Structure 1
């Protein structure tokens, strides 16, 4: 293979992801969630294959049966953990404190390490089932270190009311990247947490401005200051988009694989445009679909005869078939979540993936010639813990 300019192409299309998300979402609902493992596998394969560094697509080779068996394994373990441990906690809680509140608090705190455990194991599985040029990625064991580091950094983030967020983000990413392999070559996360402070400045200032406006409005009892809160909120939204784009750039450009590195240039304006346009399209289509559904319902009721409409106006629903309101409610309830998720994949997730992929390229790709294949990592529980907690909804 001749390495030249390894820019990244993106082949994802909105109509295809719309159809795929809609069909797999409906199957998941009709099978009471059982199909979700097949849905996730098909969606990942599409997203992975759409990302093409140097014109060569990524491959996702995970299977739905791995995920299903892993889910059952995790459920058995968590059932024992939650059942037995919570029973013991309840016993001591009622014995020592005459109530169950302490038991619930300790139970939630005790479950937190399981969340970080699940996140690391899920990332190991996804990387182990991802290939490019036929060569596997991988993440070496290290879940214990990730769990205690996550507990520490998240605790400091909570205590500092979010000020510690850039530091937490950098060190947890560094821990994972420094244990990540492409073939037999280890990756390295360079840079410093200080690189992430500047992208976060707008978020900090927007929050500070919101607090100042709130205090000023309260102290002066003058409502004329309230509209300034809208400006602060807009600043906050801009800050989040700026953080998403620039933190990605800072972390990506300091990742290396031997002599290979990455270059990227995501744009804050483009991120804002994707979210603004995406949400506008989603709300517009959703409202249009709701109006159309209302028209269909009205037509059905009209076809059932004028006596039905008279009874409905009088608050008498007895004229309707008993199963109709229940069936309609179930369809609307599940249809809401499925259709909203489909629109989100189509108008936000796919355009965002497209933008970040297309602005990223591989620098010094000749060094990739030295990379050799790595052994296949086996996983007894796949992403089971992430799915069971549940943390497995993200691709």
Structure 2
């Protein structure tokens, strides 16, 4: 079995075995991802203060993980139709365990009211089906392919639209201490604009960086005798003289590019989108905030390392 998983597929059964192993591995990682999602919010809240009062969150990552697995499975089985249920119930689970000072949050609303936020996804699926029908029944591959490409783009827009609109709905129905409410005026168009502009800038900078490293690599490779044979015909010219430096620069350039691109994503995409959400968030009926008092700080030393990041105690 191990040989069938790790070797090149020799038949249909090997392909099925490798696909099964891949999906099993992915499913095994999912609980850790859901653990991390809950603990990440809890950790950030414990390090956040507003008006001098700290936020907090109950230790309940285990309950969140198995619920997330359940709702994630329901969404897959229903081909995404129960995605609003998963979104609402998981957000409610976390919100109902959040605190600001000695006041608790509560998530109100109904999961079915998130369906309007999925309208563009439904339209996109219809466009994709239309494109498939044009190819299958009309034998018009070019036209059908164009329609399906438009459907994929529409589906991506629909995904962003759902994220923004569901955030706005859930935010408007969060209540703090039974009195304080919130509203969000975030725009899906603005979020998409930030993402597209950021992706273009990152692509340009990545291209310039690759050209610089490529030119430097070429110069050093040429000065070390190139990639061909050396004078003795042993084929080691690239590793003589400054050849080792060429390889070292190539490796460092690759690692630097990974780190730099990650930083650029934060600067040009993640941070501006987060800033847009923050700038469009408003507090309604803020008067009762004056009555909220500080609460004892939570001990979250275990959140500083992945081995202790789960609410199950101990380390691996």
TM over 0.5: yes
Q: Indicate if the aligned counterparts of 2:221 and 2:227 stay in contact, CA closer than 8 A.
A: yes
Contact 2:221-2:238 at 8 Å conserved across structures: no
Give per-residue Cα distances to partners, 1:181-207, cap 9 Å, x unaligned: 000000111111123211111112212
Distance 1:317 1:284, change over 3 A: farther
Q: Report the equivalent of 1:196.
A: 114
Higher relative CO (Cα under 8 Å, sequence separation at least 6) belongs to 1
The yes-or-no answer on 1:273 pairing with 2:163 is no
SS at match of 2:303: coil
The yes-or-no answer on 1:257 pairing with 2:186 is no
Cα offset for 1:365? 1.6
Structure 2: gaps (5+ residues): 1-16, 311-316
Indicate the residue corresponding to 2:265 in structure 1. Answer: 344
> What is the distance in 2 between the residues matched to 1:251 and 1:137?
19
Distance 2:184 2:174 in 1: 11
Q: Partner of 2:149 in structure 1? A: 230
Q: Deviations over 1:159-192 (max 9, x none)?
A: 1122211110111000110111000000111111
Separation in 1 of the partners of 2:212 and 2:21? 49
Which stretch shows the higher mean deviation, 375-384 or 183-192? Answer: 375-384
Does the CA contact (< 8 Å) of 1:278 and 1:347 recur in 2? yes
| Aligned twin of 1:334 | 255
Q: 2: CA distance between counterparts of 1:264 and 1:315?
A: 68
Aligned length: 287
| Matched residue SS, 1:163 | coil
1:172 to 82, 90, 99: 90
| Distance apart, 1:106 and its partner CA | 7.2
Aligned pair 1:285/2:215, yes or no?
no
Which residue number corresponds to residue 6 of structure 2?
Answer: none
C-alpha displacement at 1:130, in angstroms? Answer: 1.8
- How many Å apart are 1:311 and its aligned residue? 5.4
Give deviations 1:220-251, integer Å, cap 9, x for gaps: 33213211122212212221221222111111
**Offset at 1:299?**
3.5
Is the partner of 1:375 in helix, strand or coil? coil
Q: Which residue of 2 aligns with 1:323?
A: 244
- CA 118–336 in structure 1, closer or farther in 2 if over 3 Å, else same: same
Rate the CA distance shift 1:166–1:356 in 2: closer, same or farther, 3 A. Answer: same
- Name the counterpart of 1:361: 282
Distance 1:285 1:103, change over 3 A: closer
- Once residues 271 and 102 of structure 2 are traced to their aligned partners in structure 1, the CA distance between those partners, rounded to angstroms, is 31
Cα distance change of structure 1 residues 387 and 335 upon mapping to structure 2, 3 Å threshold: farther
Picking from 378, 381, 390, the partner of 2:302 is 381
> What aligned pairs does 1:31-180 form with structure 2 within 5 A after superposition?
112-180=30-98
Q: TM-score, normalised by structure 2?
A: 0.80
Segments of structure 1 that go 5 or more residues without pairing to the other structure are 1-99, 390-395
Q: TM-score scaled to structure 1, two decimals?
A: 0.65
